[in-house]
Chain A
Amino acid sequence: MTSARPLSAEQYAKTQGRRNLADLPFTEKVKCVIELQRRLQPIYAQRGIYIKPWKS
């Protein structure tokens, strides 16, 4: 059985970043979702897909 390689600094930072996001209060997570919708709206619009960002 091979042992698992330790995470590189970049991998660790990414994993930790995901954990930090998961630990946010739900109200903050909803703000993140709305921000994602706002940022992706113009990209999706170019493909003809309409996104309406939620009101918080």
Chain B
Amino acid sequence: MKEALKVLAELVAEGVIEDYAIGGAMGATFYLEPVLTMDLDVFVLFKDDDSLLPLQPIYDALRKRGYLPDERMPECIDIGGTPVQFLPVYNDLLAEALAHAKSFDYDGINARVLPAEYLAAISVQTGRMKDKLRVQAFLAYDQFDKGAFAGICAAHGLACPVEESEK
């Protein structure tokens, strides 16, 4: 994990990616109780977002460092024993979420994570069963800003579960 975060910071410093933020289950784990996950989901923003193969520069940079696709999960790159899945920012909600990403210290390394309210909104948008459970976990989280979450949902045309649960 530490090595993966170090490499992500290097990719930003070298200009391979403009910015990144951890999302998915590990992003949620930053705020909530730990849950089982197999990979580290990382949303990435590029300076040149017109490319048909936006992730190729990342794969090229990682290959030069000796990091190759995970044997069992080829959609992930094994960075120091952590399978990392890179996901390009593919809609306005993700772009806004990444613009609001928070920095935190992980064992001396600066890392970026999506805000809780955006992680919940992304879960609403994705809409799988595990995402719905994650939204409920966020709603029960003491420091979760339900107003901000409702605002994000409204701005992106998502059905807000806060309004639904308070009817």
Q: A residues near B, CB below 8 A?
A: 18-19, 21-22, 24, 26-27, 29-30, 32-33, 36-37, 40, 50-52, 54-56
Interface 9-mer from B42-50, B78-86, B91-99, B146-154: B78-86
Q: How far is the CB of A24 from chain B (nearest CB, A)?
A: 8
Q: How far is the CB of B134 from chain A (nearest CB, A)?
A: 13
Residue-wise, chain B 21-63 has the 8 Å CB interface mask toward A (1 for contact) of 0000010011111111110000000000000000000000000
14 A-B Cβ contacts within 8 A?
Answer: A22-B32, A26-B30, A27-B106, A33-B29, A33-B35, A33-B37, A36-B36, A52-B83, A54-B1, A54-B82, A54-B83, A55-B3, A55-B80, A56-B1
Q: Is the interface of B mostly helix, strand, loop or mixed?
A: loop
Establish whether residues A37 and B107, one from each chain, have CB atoms under 8 Å apart when the complex forms.
no
Bound state CA distance, A26 and B142, in angstroms? 17
